Amino acid sequence: MKPIKVGLLGLGTVGTGVVRIVEGHQEDLVRQIGTGVEISRILVNDVTKNRTIAIRPEQLTENVEDILTDPEIDVIVEVMGGLDPTKDYVMRALANGKHIVTANKDLMALCGTEILAQAQAYKRDILYEASVAGGIPIIRTLTEGFSSDRILKIMGIVNGTTNYILSKMSREGAVYAEALREAQELGYAEADPTSDVEGLDAARKMTILSRLGFHVNVELADVSVRGISRVTREDIAYGKTLGYEVKLLGIAERTEEGVSVSVEPTMVRLSHPLASVSGVFNAVYVFGESVGETMFYGPGAGELPTATSIVADLVAVAKNLRLDVNGGQLPPSYQEKRLRTPEQIVSKYFLLLHVADKAGVLARITQIFADHEVSLESVFQHPNAASPHAEIIIITHNAVKAGMQQVLADFERLDVVHEIRSVYRVEG
């Protein structure tokens, strides 16, 4: 049987990894698929550029039409990233009868519903395992491994840059700016790190996971997002003293009232498996109604981990081609979208307040919590010789988000509260 022919859009770090794996694992691919896999054309910006792998000159092209319109190409692997012109290339490729494998989280988070509908209309496969958590097979796990269960909660460390920064602050007591600078020097963070550190990258990934886990058309605008740029080493130190680690978590929950999705720095109980995930590693915790707790851990980025997920999708498409069953994917979102309101979202909270150091302050603070029916698990007053204010650390019991918002609004108006220094959700 003739080999499966592949067009590759992009030959950066991940694209190079795809070529390495496909060319280095041909015997395994033949045994799994029943035929070989051949990367026949590769779209690049400059065909004369020196490469870190051996590429035949005739494989390279600067003209995307050489790939989109080639009748011999069965599958297109997209590792360009971004939306423009990538979305147009993918939509045209589907219309031209190509199957798609992509690692593009932006594309699938922002345009996934439209692209999946296009794929279904043309009876083509589109697989995107590598768009979330690199080498962790979480998308296949949600769609296949949990197909008989009802997922109630997904929590993920899905951005390696922020996890590296927070891990360095926790292990070494580094300040945020110092940890970010080191992440940039090591190549973990971009020169403009906004997408990572402000939670936007994680929000895109949680949009994809929520759609698949809850079968609801969650959009990026539905995700509440807060990044790590205001996390201090004092917050992390206080958290550790009380038995918590600070992590940037994507949190998606489903209840009878609907779904909620957020990305926010979170105090995670040290006994929870997510608390021990350090460095640039990713992890996704999934709670199923029947199976209970599960967690998936591994490298969230990098040439070969990400390329491994891409080639796994490529194998799945090739097997479908052999069986002539492509295009059988159903849209992941088939349930009505109902977003939970602040009155329906419940969690514990950590607060650090700078207050006037005088009698009666604590009573006034606790009365505000009582007024909004927020009960307290623990209250600590911490001396700080470097500050003229007293520091009060509070951990609540489970509280309604709307009630906590009212508490914080009252604190803003209270003369004895000089600063609401930190507020974190608490998990685990």
Q: Which residues are catalytic?
A: 205
Label residue 58 exposed, middle or buried (CB < 10 Å: 0-12, 13-18, 19+).
exposed
CA–CA dist 167, 25 (Å, integer): 35
State how far the Cα of 393 lies from the Cα of 378, in Å rounded to an integer. 8
Q: Fill in the DSSP letter of residue 17.
A: H
CA distances from 165 to 11, 124, 273, 308 (A): 28, 40, 19, 26
User: In the chain, how long is the greatest CA-to-CA distance?
Assistant: 84
Q: In the chain, helix, strand, coil percent, each to 5?
A: 40, 25, 35
Name the helix (H) or strand (E) containing 95. helix 86-95
The H or E element containing residue 85 is none
> What is the CB-side half-sphere exposure of residue 406 using CA atoms within 13 A?
15
C-alpha to C-alpha distance for 315 and 308, rounded to whole angstroms: 11
